[in-house]
Copies of this chain bind each other. A is one copy, B any other.
Amino acid sequence: MKCDETDLRKPPKVANPGSGRSAQAVMRLRCQQCAVRIGSLCGALPNEVLQELSRVALRRRVRAGQLVSGGHQRAKVFAVIVSGVVKIVNAKPDGRQQIVGLQFPSDFVGAQSIGKAELSTEAATDLDLCWFSGPDFTALLRDNTVIQQALLARVVGDLDAAREWMFVLGRKSAQERVASLLLMVARRSAEAGLTGKLTMPLSRTEMADYLCLRLETVSRQIAQLQSRSIIATEGRRLFTVLDMEALVHASECSPE
């Protein structure tokens, strides 16, 4: 397996929260009626802390393909995803790159060390973020043990998810990997209340980057799942799961 050199891509434009605020629809957010509060960092917080949170939380929209953090900007980013999908990208200096994680609505963005790891976070789709400035979030963390504990729990959860994904990359066949990804997106969509057709947040190239396959292989496996009548596709990003049981079987994932 000689490593594939994904072309050096032009670096995505940086979405800078400091400039053009009005244009970017930055505004106060009332946390109490937030769509993703349950299940997110903020879910565990009592109302008085939530009041405090409301004061420093900003709503921000980011377009698909834009950089959320990482790259050459040093400022650390802290945000809860309200809608959309974020990909965490590990880009090697030689141009090889890999998607090492996906974050869905209610997930937290900003738990990467700013150290030597070449991680950056990019918007896979258009995003709606609940955003905290570095100093604000640090202060919040310092003053509220509850938030600290919630953050720790979330990072431990991410760690578990990463280790689960290591199993996918190390031990599963191409077919099982593609099925696992479809299943994961299906389950996260279901959590968000969406049933029926599901929208794949990634392009074929991105799917390949995430599954550590070539995009040709991804394409072939999707075709095969279709020919087995396990899924159906419309266009490039719309999928329908025809036989959930068979998909679970094909993914070798636990039935949940």
| A contact set with B: CB distance below 8 Å | 1-4, 88, 90, 92-93, 96, 98, 100-101, 111-113, 115-117, 119, 142, 145, 148-149, 151-153, 155-160, 162-167, 169-174, 212, 252, 254
- Whether the Cβ atoms of A155 and B159 lie closer than 8 Å is yes
Interface contact A170-B119, CB-CB below 8 Å? no
Question: Are A100 and B3 touching (Cβ within 8 A)?
Answer: no
Enumerate chain B residues within 8 angstroms of A100, measured Cβ to Cβ.
163, 166-167
A172: chain B residues at CB < 8 Å are 1, 3
* B159/A162 in contact, CB under 8 A: yes
Determine whether the beta carbon of B166 is less than 8 Å from that of A98.
yes
Q: How far is the CA of A164 from the CA of B113 in the complex (A)?
A: 12
Contacts of A167 on B, CB cut-off 8 Å?
90, 92, 98, 100
A192–B151 CA distance with the chains assembled, in angstroms: 31
> Within the complex, what minimum Cβ distance (angstroms) separates A155 from chain B?
5
A4 to chain B, nearest CB (A): 8
Residues of B within 8 A of A1 (CB): 171-174
Nearest CB in chain B to that of A2: its residue:
B173
A149 to B153, CA, bound (A): 13
A159 B96 Cβ-Cβ under 8 A: no
Instruction: List the B residue with the shortest CB-CB distance to A3.
Output: B171
